[in-house]
Amino acid sequence: MACNTAHMFMEQFELSIGHKITSMIDVTIEDITSRNLKKIGLLASPNTFKSGLYARPLRRTGVIIETVTNQELQKLEELIRRVIANQTDSSLKKDLEVIVDRMVRSGCEAIILGCTELSVINGLNPIKYTIDPLTLIAKQLV
């Protein structure tokens, strides 16, 4: 499944179709634990933050999760909405880089892009230190 937020309904989807779906969340957690990362930043939509899709399983592995400030959350929501509205330009990536840089300076070893629209912004030339669940799941499925 190539949408982070849709993972909130994973169980219902699996029951509907009668088999297990490969989870972006699980693939991302596996990547983080295999690299023995201890402190991770999380960038996501408000719903993904509220749901704990990444935070709960990461905490079970002992990983420390840093989230964004209220101002950064508002900026992320703006970036996500601009991608959805197809209003993309180079300023989106620059704004995303500012948040990633702040989290790295605060000690995060890597930053999860926990929203598909953030993966779109990150593009083919990824920002250093980012973990893109969309890319991870694509690699696993291929």
Positions annotated as catalytic residues are 3, 115
| Residues 30-57, mean pLDDT to the nearest whole number | 93
| Between residues 71 and 3, the one the model is more confident about | 71
List pLDDT tens digits, range 6-24.
777 667 776 788 878 778 8
Long-range contacts of 102-110 (CB under 8 A, 24+ apart): 102/72, 103/41, 103/66, 103/68, 104/41, 104/129, 106/41, 106/66, 107/39, 107/66, 108/39, 108/40, 108/41, 108/66, 109/37, 109/38, 109/39, 109/40, 110/32, 110/35, 110/37, 110/40, 110/41
**Of the ranges 17-21, 33-37, 123-127, which one carries the lowest mean pLDDT score?**
17-21
* Domain limits for position 65: 5-141
CATH number (domain holding residue 23): 3.40.50.1860
- The count of domains in the chain is 1
pLDDT tens digit sequence for 49-102: 888 989 999 999 999 999 999 999 999 999 999 999 999 888 999 999 999 999
